[in-house]
Amino acid sequence: MRIAITGATGNVGTALLRSLTAHGHEVVGIARRPPGPAAFPGVEWRTADLSTDVATTLTAAFGGVDAVVHLVWGFQPTHDEAYLERLALGGTRQMLGAASAAGVPHVLHMSSLGAYSARQGTGVAYADESWPTGGIPTSAYSRHKAAAERIVDGFEAEHPEVTVTRMRPALIGQRSAASGVLRYTMPSLVPGRAVDLVKVMPLDRAFTLQLVHADDVAEAYRLAIEQGAGGAFNLAAEPPLTAADLASGLGARHVHLPFRALRTAADLSWRARLQQVDAGWLDMAWQLPLLDAGRAHAELGWSPRYDAWQVLEEVVDGVRHGGYAETPALRRRSMIEGLTEALRGRSAARRHLP
């Protein structure tokens, strides 16, 4: 099969490139900054920035493909929501319009746990794919994921001849994405080795987090493509990790800090531009339900190879030792590069964008 992937150089994209090419599929990778030809032999690359008008480029890239996987999304700069919306929602509309113009029979959209509405009360709740997708209002990421679901709803209603698949994964990790994650979440002067200095982790004791490995998300996509499976699929590995589990994974001691105090500290430091993660991410972690991945198991035959503990261990090891991939998005993180970009006003939190 011939498959086009938008956002092919990111966390899930690189894992999907590995999976699809290993199973003999032809792949067209689409990215704002494609890697060198040696990074993924055999992949055809097209350059497209989906925050701009690239409808013609996408339609040409989608010509003759059996499926399009849409992974493009923006995580920074969190202070420039207009850009993030232009990329997330405008990019999704462009992808769907180009897929329709090119006659693509199968579209697979990367949604997220973040598309779901908040659980009621403080108890743990599991959500299957029928859970409302209204998002968390205080999170721009969540609002955009929910809005993208409405865009996909409209496309699906207008194009019943197209199979539409939505993947809704938990937090995705792999070793080679560590440098990219650090670039988007930590100031450039903080080295990855600083993880070894974390001796205390202040989190609310009720905090719970689900993880899934990028390779397992890629496997779900491959299975859905090969089976022509439509609909929504939750993706998460077991077990859900508690605050104490996360602290243990970092070799730290967990100290209970009420959520409201943690959120206030995160919000004030983000507004002061001392760190790059807005408080909406904490709101999602606090309010969203846990994912029930039973449908992916039953209908796709999907079974994650990595449990949540293994994903956490791999991510922490990647942070500690500078895990990276040979793509611009996941390139090796350099303190010198980060400092230079910051001095030029082009850090992840402040960079100039079209």
Question: What pTM, to 2 d.p., does this model score?
Answer: 0.91
pLDDT in tens, 266-303: 999 989 888 888 999 999 999 999 999 999 999 999 99
- 212, two tokens: 């899934």
* 187-202: average pLDDT: 71
The model's confidence at residue 353, banded by pLDDT at 50, 70 and 90, is very low
State the Cα–Cα distance between residues 293 and 160, nearest whole angstrom.
Answer: 25
**2-343: what CATH class?**
alpha beta
Sequence ranges of the domains in the chain: 2-343
The model's confidence at residue 352, banded by pLDDT at 50, 70 and 90, is very low
3-class SS letters over the chain: CEEEEECCCCHHHHHHHHHHHHCCCEEEEEECCCCCCCCCCCCEEEECCCCCCCHHHHHHHCCCCCEEEECCCCCCCCCCHHHHHHHHHHHHHHHHHHHHHHCCCEEEEECCHHHCCCCCCCCCCEECCCCCCCCCCCCHHHHHHHHHHHHHHHHHHHCCCCEEEEEEECEEECHHHHHHHHHHHCCCCCCHHHHHHCCEEEECCCCEECEEEHHHHHHHHHHHHHHCCCEEEEECCCCCEEHHHHHHHCCCEEEECCHHHHHHHHHHHHHCCCCCCCCHHHHHHHHCCEECCHHHHHHHCCCCCCCHHHHHHHHHHHHHHCCCCCCCCCCCCCHHHHHHHHHCCCCCCCCCCC
pLDDT at 354 over 50: no
pLDDT in tens, 247-262: 998 888 999 999 999 9
Task: Specify the amino acid at residue 15.
Answer: A
- What does the angle CA 58 – CA 218 – CA 291 come to, to the nearest 5 degrees? 110
* 79-88: average pLDDT: 91
pLDDT at 160 over 80: yes
CB atoms within 10 A of CB 162: 18
Selected residue with higher pLDDT from 171 and 197: 171
State the Cα–Cα distance between residues 326 and 258, nearest whole angstrom.
Answer: 40
Top-ranked range on mean pLDDT: pick from 84-93, 189-198, 321-330: 84-93
* 41-62: average pLDDT: 94
Q: Give the percent of the chain with pLDDT over 70.
A: 89
